[in-house]
C-alpha cells in the first residue's frame, strides 16, 4: 500500500474549528434563520429533548463550515533517518481565520507538483478537505493547488483518508482516530484534551497555543496510523519536530 518513497510525499493534516461567533446572539442576523432551520432539522429524530437554536449553536456549530471558522491548521511530513521516521510539523493558528488560511495556503503551494504530493487526514474527505475549501471561498482567498478539488466525485479525490483505508470498501459509520490508535496500540492524541473542548478553550480561555499542541498531536497520530498500516516503525517520542 505504502512504501517509504510515497510515505515521504504525504502531507498529514488536521484542523481545529470553532463556532463563527462566541454565541448565537452574536451571529449575523442573516445567518440566524438559517441556523434555526438547521438546528430543527438536525434534531428531528433525536431521542433527547430538543435544544433551542442558541444552545444547539454552542454545542454543534463548529463542525459546519457555514457557521464556523478555522483557528488552527497543523500539517507535517515524514522523513526517515535510517529506519526511524521523524515528523516535521508546522502549525498556522490564531483568532484571525483569514491570516491562518493565507499562511497555510502559501505554505502548501511551496510543495512541488513533481513528484506529486497528497494530503492525508482522518475523515479528511468528509471534513478537513471540504471544510478548508469552503472557508477559503468565504474569505475570498485563492485555493492552494492541492485543495482545488471542487466539483469532483468522491472517488476522484486523490488525497488519502485514513478512515477510508480502515473501511476496506465497507460502508461503516464514523470510526474515531482515538479508537483506532487504541486498537493499534498507538499513543492517544486525546490525553490532554479532545475536540469537544476546543470551543471553550478558544472562546473562554483564548488559549490558541493549547489548541495548537492538541492539533499537532492529531497530526502525529494520523501519521502513526499510516505507518502502522504500512508496517513501518512508529515515530519515537522525540520524533515530532515543530518547525
Spell out the domain ranges in the chain: 4-20+67-242
For the chain, give the longest Cα–Cα distance.
57
Residues 6+ positions from 4 with CB-CB distance below 8 Å: 80, 232
Q: What is the mean pLDDT of residues 89-105?
A: 98
Q: What is the mean pLDDT of residues 42-47?
A: 91
**Angstrom distance (rounded) from CA 80 to CA 162:** 21
Q: How many whole angstroms from its chain centre is CA 111?
A: 19
Residue 137: CB atoms within 10 Å: 13
Burial per residue of 194-204, b for 16 or more beta-carbon CB atoms within 10 angstroms, e otherwise: ebeebbebbbe
Residue 81 has pLDDT above 70, yes or no: yes
Minimum mean pLDDT among 80-89, 93-102, 109-118, 213-222: which range? Answer: 109-118
Burial per residue of 33-58, b for 16 or more beta-carbon CB atoms within 10 angstroms, e otherwise: eebbebbeeeeeeeeeeebebeebbb
Please list the residues that pair with 240 across neighbouring strands. 87
Residue 195's pLDDT is what?
Answer: 85
pLDDT digits (tens, 9 = 90+) for 16-25: 999 999 999 9
CATH topology of domain 4-20+67-242: Nucleotidyltransferase; domain 5 (3.30.420)
pTM (2 d.p.): 0.95
Amino acid at each position: 500500500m505504502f512504501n517509504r518513497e510515497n510515505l515521504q510525499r504525504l502531507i498529514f493534516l488536521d484542523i481545529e474549528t470553532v463556532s463563527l461567533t462566541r454565541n448565537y446572539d452574536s451571529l449575523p442576523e442573516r445567518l440566524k434563520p438559517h441556523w434555526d432551520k438547521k438546528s430543527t432539522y438536525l434534531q428531528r429524530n433525536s431521542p433527547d429533548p430538543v435544544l433551542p437554536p442558541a444552545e444547539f449553536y454552542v454545542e454543534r456549530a463548529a463542525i459546519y463550515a457555514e457557521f464556523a471558522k478555522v483557528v488552527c491548521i497543523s500539517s507535517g511530513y515524514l522523513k526517515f533517518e535510517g529506519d526511524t521516521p521523524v515528523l516535521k510539523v508546522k502549525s498556522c493558528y490564531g483568532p484571525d481565520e483569514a491570516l491562518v488560511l493565507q499562511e497555510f495556503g502559501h505554505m502548501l503551494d511551496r510543495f512541488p507538483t513533481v513528484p506529486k504530493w497528497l494530503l492525508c487526514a482522518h475523515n479528511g474527505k468528509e471534513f478537513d478537505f471540504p471544510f478548508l475549501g469552503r472557508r477559503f471561498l468565504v474569505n475570498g482567498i485563492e485555493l492552494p493547488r492541492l485543495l482545488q478539488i471542487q466539483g469532483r466525485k468522491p472517488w476522484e479525490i486523490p488525497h488519502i483518508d485514513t478512515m477510508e483505508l480502515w473501511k476496506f470498501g465497507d460502508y461503516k459509520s464514523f470510526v474515531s482516530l482515538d479508537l483506532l490508535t487504541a486498537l493499534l496500540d498507538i499513543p492517544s492524541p486525546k490525553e490532554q484534551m479532545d475536540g469537544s473542548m476546543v470551543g471553550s478553550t478558544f472562546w473562554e480561555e483564548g488559549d490558541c497555543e493549547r489548541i495548537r499542541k492538541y492539533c499537532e498531536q492529531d497530526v502525529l497520530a494520523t501519521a502513526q496510523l499510516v505507518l502502522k498500516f504500512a508496517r513501518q516503525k512508529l515515530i519515537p517520542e522525540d520524533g515530532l519536530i515543530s518547525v
